[in-house]
Chain A
Amino acid sequence: MTKPPVNPKVVRVPKEIEQLFDDPPLVGDELRDSYNAVFSILAAAVKPADAIQWMYFDDVVYSTWEIQRVRKIKAAYINLLLTKVAEARFAWTTADYVRQMRLAEKIIDGKLKMEEVKPKPEPEPEDPATSLAKAYLLGLDDIEAFDKQIALFEARRNNALRELAWHCETTARKLDKASRDIIDGEFTEATK
């Protein structure tokens, strides 16, 4: 049995809909406690009142979590690409191998001594902006796909917030009408 997603001291999820929040979308090393913390902070700020509000609230939490995850993966991916860019700078090219072969031939022929061979010069230091640009070029399609995912979930979060506002407004309007009907009803009865 999984523990309830929200700290009961902060905001209580109605028992009837607890099932919807039972299985948060966690992957890899993501912690349930971290998810619960995001859930609790947002729940305390919003205080959803009914099932519809809880549903939209869950969309907001889910989108927030996804944005966070994709951002982390994007950052890790760029770091991986930077490593590849650095490795490529130090990697041996075909020209290096040809040069090495020629040197070996000269040593065998006795035209060159081992001690006279100079090691391959270190590559010139590269400024971080150039390395980053190379990394972006290397994984442009995937980085763009991550950005699209982030934009998608930002749009979904905003959409959920808009629907939440619409629902609250409609509920308030209905409540207002119902209470006015009761007041009007009582007034009509009283005048009779």
Chain B
Amino acid sequence: MSSDRKIAANRNNAKKSTGPRSNAGREASRRNALRHGLAIAIGSDPALHDDIEKLAKLLTSSSGIQKVNEFARAAAEAEYDLLRIRKIRTSLFETHYFADTTAPDGLTNLNVKLAKLARYERRALSRRKRALRLM
């Protein structure tokens, strides 16, 4: 637990930081959250709504439950998230390795990007596992 003095100091320091000031800085920072879109919940994509509902129903019937619950929906969403991540993974292989198999620099880039992607995949896998167990 932080002390009152520490909280006040943090607030004072935060006031000093007003973010990027130059136009270029502002332009760069406004796209910070839009690198790959993997942090956006897939359930918010209207194009996938019906597919997610359909899969949630199937998962529900697979576990012998009568009504679709929030966990079935969460599991279905996580499954579609995994499919999305796998597509990105294949496109990374295409761009950084199969485009030029004789360039080792591409492989270093590929490994860095794959390690980042693995984090999102791991999260989606544990979300799905938890939801399926709680269903």
Contacts and interface: CB of A to CB of B under 8 A. Distances in A.
A79 B71 CA distance: 48
B114 to A, nearest CB: 6
A25 B59 contact: no
Nearest to B64: A174
A100 B61 CA distance: 80
Nearest to B102: A80
Contacts of A51: 55, 58-59, 61-62
Contact of B63 (A77, A139, A171): A171
B79 to A, nearest CB: 6
B110 to A, nearest CB: 9
A71 to B, nearest CB: 14
Contact of A23 (B59, B62, B87, B114): B87
B132 A52 contact: yes
A112 to B, nearest CB: 41
Contacts, number: 85
A41 B104 CA distance: 34
B108 interface: yes
Contact of A80 (B58, B104, B114): B104
Do most interface residues of chain A lie in helix, strand or loop, or is the interface mixed?
helix
Interface residues of B, number: 33
B94 interface: yes
A28 B93 contact: yes
B116 to A, nearest CB: 12
A17 B51 CA distance: 10
A124 to B, nearest CB: 26
A53 B107 CA distance: 35
Contact of A20 (B79, B104, B107): B79
Nearest to A156: B125
B111 A145 contact: yes
A139 B93 CA distance: 18
A67 to B, nearest CB: 13
A25 B63 contact: no
A152 interface: yes
A76 B101 CA distance: 9
A57 interface: no
Interface of A: 16-17, 19-20, 23, 25-29, 50-53, 55, 59, 62, 69, 73, 76-77, 80-81, 139, 141-142, 145-146, 148-149, 152, 156, 159, 163, 166-167, 170-171, 174-175, 178
17 contacts: A27-B90, A27-B94, A51-B58, A59-B125, A73-B107, A76-B101, A139-B104, A142-B111, A145-B111, A152-B118, A163-B129, A163-B132, A167-B63, A171-B62, A171-B64, A174-B63, A175-B64
3 interchain residue pairs of minimum CB distance: A145-B111, A50-B62, A28-B98
